[in-house]
Amino acid sequence: MKCIGWLLVAAIGFATPAFAQTATASRPELDAIVDEVVARYRLPGLAIGVIEHGEVVYRRGVGELVAGSGEPVTPETLFKIASNSKSMTTALLARLVDAGKLRWDDPVTRHLPQFRMYDDWVTREMQVRDLLIHDSGLRAGAGDLMLWPEPNSFSRADVIHGLRYLKPVHSFRSRYDYDNLMYIVAGEVAAAAGGAPYETLLRREVFEPLGLQRCRIGEWNRDSVGNVAQPHRREGDRNLPVREDGAVVANTTMAAAGGVRCSLDDMLTWVRTWLRPDNAAAPWLSAEQRRALWSAQMPMPVSQRQRDWDGSHYSAYGYGWRLADVDGTFKVSHTGTLMGMYSVVTMLPERDVGFVVLINGEAEEARTVLNQVLVKRYSAPAQRRDVAYYAQALERERAATPPAQRAPDTSARKPATADAMRPWLGRYGDPWFGEVSLCAKDGRVRFVSRKSPMLSGTVQRVDARWLVDWDDVSVDAEAWLDFGAAPDTGTMKMAKVDPEADFSYDYEDLAFVRVGGCD
């Protein structure tokens, strides 16, 4: 893999100081693109910025912090950047490597002796670099129910302890499968090597030296900071705020994987840092570590969409960044997704161009379309593919989805009765998720998680199957319950009703065993 990384660096001309020239952005053209995306996808709020040749050439806020509030989104508005936090975590680790406090190939157990994977050999062989490149062998999103939905009472110590019970579905280092838990471990490795909590280190090593003045991590006061976008969900034609912040924004277990909040202006500073590294005698990050972060560490599949839209030939994961070729030029990017918050950071280093999009609504397709149109302005301007072109392409993809990959019709559901479910009622335990109860209450059967209170709902009967209808509408992936062929197995498994639901609803990794009766 190290050879692949260095070959990639050579192939893209990473060390070449000259930049290919690109056309200057036209503000009216960019305004029209943004307005069309906002209108087509009915977004509550959006912040977008573009950097060309080291200068911010476009910077705009659209919509509201909270739909209907009248409070505008501005370039200073704080958004959850979600998994774009990962590149900040890897930059922190790179700073510690530069300082001689750790090495990428250090065994994880050198810094965290309590770390264990399901397989003892993997435990011994897992290096710091493996925490960052999604090669653990676990299913995509394995264990994410310890992180989301929030709030819950899982700690980082719980996450590290729970890893030993998660069974791999692939061989270690054999393939890419997206993994959030390893970034939680990486954050704790940084804390151990750096001698301070992850949050303190990120402020000291990333936010402060780069001047990311409004970026926030850890606990902070919403009103004293001010201008904070809130997430939204779609209900018909309306954007409704969901999981709004309280007066005090609490620290979060998942900080190193997705817990940073930043403004557009901060994120543009972040992008400029990567496109135009300083040449001072004491740079923020060494050239060696910059190369490491942007070198291919783990091959990723090249999707049919990438081939059709971008003519891509390779795709790989670096340290906290996705790498690919787009129309013959090098692209560095990452997305971020949390309930009601979407972001994307994209750079075309050979074009000396980068852009940031932050959205406070359900916006998967909007993000994809807007990012793609922006990329094409610089990678293949002659194609002149607009918002409608890519929106319609996504609609065709959706229409072509095989029936087996679509959510089944569950509209004939009826609440399960205690009598019908009596053989399976009780308290169940899973070694990493903890205890849940499946008990009768007020004539219904209730599923309640002890450590993740938002995973509470009413059991429904659908034909010959059982599913859990979650109380909170923001928990948007219902779950099947499976008790095996016989009523006395004392086990319970779960699976997503919609096979295309977010992989972080990793019900499939749960293996419950009955531990007692209902109180």
Tell which CATH classification among 3.40.50.1980, 3.40.30.10, 3.50.50.60, 3.40.710.10 matches the domain 2-81+231-238+265-400. Answer: 3.40.710.10
The pLDDT of 10-14, averaged and rounded, is: 38
- Cα–Cα separations (whole angstroms), residue 429 to 41, 150, 424, 485, 510: 42, 20, 13, 20, 9
Handedness of CA 386, 389, 393, 399 (dihedral sign): positive
CATH of domain 414-516: 2.40.128
Q: What is the pLDDT of residue 1?
A: 36
So where are the chain's domains? Answer: 2-81+231-238+265-400, 414-516
Q: 375 pLDDT exceeds 70?
A: yes
The pLDDT of 85-92, averaged and rounded, is: 98
What's the burial of 454, exposed, middle or buried (CB within 10 Å: 0-12/13-18/19+)? middle
Domains 2-81+231-238+265-400 and 414-516 share a fold: no
Q: How many CA atoms lie within 13 A of 413 on its CB side?
A: 17
Q: What is the DSSP string of 169-181?
A: SS-TTSS----SH
Q: What is the pLDDT of residue 6?
A: 33
The pLDDT of 123-143, averaged and rounded, is: 98
Contact 10, 302 (CB under 8 A): no
Q: Per-residue pLDDT tens for 427-484?
A: 999 999 999 999 999 999 999 999 999 999 999 999 999 999 999 999 999 999 999 8
d(CA 450, CA 42): 37
Q: CB-based contacts of 470: which residues, under 8 Å, 6+ apart?
A: 454, 455, 456, 457, 478
d(CA 171, CA 35): 46
What's the burial of 18, exposed, middle or buried (CB within 10 Å: 0-12/13-18/19+)? exposed
Q: What is the pLDDT of residue 278?
A: 72
Helix H or strand E segment including 261: strand 261-262
Record the pTM: 0.94
The pLDDT of 382-411, averaged and rounded, is: 92
Q: Helix crossing, 387-399 with 27-41: angle to 10°?
A: 30
The torsion angles phi and psi of 184, rounded to 5 degrees, stand at: -65, -45
Q: Per-residue pLDDT tens for 22-57?
A: 556 689 999 999 999 999 999 999 999 999 999 999
Q: What is the pLDDT of residue 8?
A: 42
Q: 499 pLDDT exceeds 90?
A: yes
Q: Per-residue pLDDT tens for 224-255?
A: 999 999 999 999 999 999 999 999 999 999 99
d(CA 291, CA 9): 7
